[in-house]
Amino acid sequence: MHKALRRAVVIGLAAAMPAGAAALAWTPPQGFATAAHAWETGDYAAARSLFGRLAEAGDARAGFYLGVMAEQGQGQDADPAGAAVWYGRAAEAGDARAAFNLARLLDQGAAPALPADPARAARLYEQAARAGIVAADTGLALMQLDGRAAGGDEAAARARLLRAARAGDGAADHALALRALAGDPPDMVEAVARCRRAVARGYSPAGALLDQLSAAADPDLLAAAAAREPVLDAQGK
């Protein structure tokens, strides 16, 4: 897992932990923070043990972390099927992050250990989107546009992408840039503006497309894209 994502998933944890043996004490107020501290510092054996105890006691957050560890191969071989089990348990208990991560796994699958399951992935994306995970709207919209998920026509899927882009998802901007290029005629100004914003938002896959479009564009087009970028959401394009 990238360092930025690792930091993101621990938002909300206790800020300070006691040092030494006291940090490993298992008491109800600090049980989750102790486990998360072990994970953040790379003590995966301790983290797995502590998260396991919490998960078996019904803590959905712990199940999410066990899924992350299994998926990323932290302290063990990567195990997408095992990750799916933990994510599934946590998602059923209401953890939206686990629902999104499981949807992402099932969207494409991880052969041969974990077959793709588009129908379940779409349901999980919907669950995560309802809970406010913006990237889940993007994931579901792309499945709908590709014909891999029912329940939404092209207009509804595009509306999801626009909503996700307004909320700050660079992947949604990238997807909208590709849609602009596929138009008849292509909207190069829109595509460049969307790619620029996707890159600014940290969505690195948009960088290669932006380089290609910029190299082929004349100065007037680039100027028009720069002018459109600040008003992308206002004009709803």
Is residue 230's pLDDT more than 60? yes
Q: Cβ(120)–Cβ(92) under 8 Å?
A: no
pLDDT confidence of residue 235 = 61
Q: Kindly tell me if the per-residue pLDDT of 2 is higher than 50.
A: no
Percent of the chain with pLDDT over 70: 85
pLDDT at 236: 55
Q: Which residue has the higher pLDDT, 233 or 6?
A: 233
How confident is the model over 47-83, as pLDDT tens digits? 999 999 999 989 999 999 999 999 999 999 999 999 9
Closest CA to 110 of 76, 143, 138, 71: 71
Round to whole Å and give the CA distance between 6 and 57. 24
Q: Tell me how long the chain is.
A: 237
Question: Does the pLDDT at position 5 exceed 90?
Answer: no
Average pLDDT of the segment spanning 225-235: 92
Average confidence (pLDDT) over 97-118: 95
Pick left, alpha or beta for residue 73 (phi over 0 → left; psi -120 to 50 → alpha; otherwise beta). Answer: left
Higher pLDDT, 232 or 6: 232
pLDDT in tens, 26-36: 544 568 999 99
pLDDT at 8 over 60: no
Inter-CA distances, 170 with 9, 133, 159, 194, 227, Å: 18, 13, 15, 9, 18
Give dist(CA 70, CA 28) in Å, integer: 25
Residue 225, both tokens: 């894209």
Q: 188's torsion region: left (phi>0), alpha (psi -120 to 50) or beta?
A: alpha
The band of 1, judged by pLDDT with boundaries at 50, 70 and 90, is very low
* Token pair recorded at residue 86: 């933990």
Please check whether residue 175 is in contact with residue 138, taking contact to mean a CB–CB distance below 8 angstroms. Answer: yes
Are the C-beta atoms of 68 and 83 separated by less than 8 Å? yes
Q: Give the model's pLDDT for residue 19.
A: 35
Name which of 72, 61, 58, 142 is nearest 107 in CA terms. Answer: 142
* pTM for the predicted model, two decimal places: 0.81
In this predicted model, what pLDDT tens digit does every residue of 145-191 receive, in sequence order?
988 887 668 888 999 999 999 999 999 999 999 999 999 999 999 99
Task: For residues 22 and 169, give the distance between their C-alpha atoms in angstroms, rounded to a whole number.
Answer: 41
